[in-house]
Structure 1
Amino acid sequence: MPPSSIAATPIPTDIAALSFEDALAELERIVRQLEEGRGKLDDAISSYERGTALKRHCEAKLREAQAKIDRITVSADGSIGSEPARID
């Protein structure tokens, strides 16, 4: 599947219901399993596809968290805005 079609594929509902921590733990388990290279090719392909969906879900959760911590600003003219948080 080309990368653009992977991004357009909806995240399965069971993955979408996972917390960031649970999704990351499952993704780590899949990566370890794939690195070991044991098992059937079809299982590895399915695991890779699930891992891709888990990665996208984790990235979306991180973007949501980033949006929540954007800093609210007040300019000299009194208008209110926001700017990205600086996480250093």
Structure 2
Amino acid sequence: MAKSASAPVAPAADFEHSLDELEQLVARMEGGELSLDESLSSFERGIGLYRHCQQALENAELRVRMLLDPDAPDTAEPFEPEL
């Protein structure tokens, strides 16, 4: 069965797509061949992508903390395996 165009994208896939687009924007801007308007539009889009990626990373960190210590995620410490 084919995926619907309105089906939600997995958070990791959405993050990867946003990060890839951000990297492409940066490369184009660093190339120095964009007009001022194109540069401003690219910068604006890049800021939005950056914020989206940052939020995704914060959500992932929260999920990890919840898994490490569901009763007190703010005080969760990373798992250190015994040697």
Q: What's the TM-score once normalised by structure 2's chain length?
A: 0.69
* TM-superposed deviation, 1:85: 4.7
Tell me how large the CA RMSD over aligned residues is.
Answer: 2.2
1:60 is aligned, of 55, 59, 78, to: 55
Residue identity matched to 2:78: R
Q: Which has the higher strand share?
A: 1
Q: What percentage of aligned pairs have identical amino acids?
A: 34
Q: What's the TM-score once normalised by structure 1's chain length?
A: 0.65
- Residues 31-78 of structure 1: per-residue CA shift (max 9 Å, x gap): 0000001021100100000000000000000000000000216xxxxx
Structure 1 segments of 4+ aligned residues over 6 angstroms from their partners: none
Instruction: Provide structure 1 residue ranges, at least 5 long, that are not aligned to the other structure.
Output: 1-16, 74-79
Matched, 1:86 2:81: no
Alignment check: 8 A CA contact 1:34 1:44 kept? yes
What count of residue pairs does the alignment treat as equivalent?
65
The 1-side partners of 2:26 and 2:32 are apart by: 10
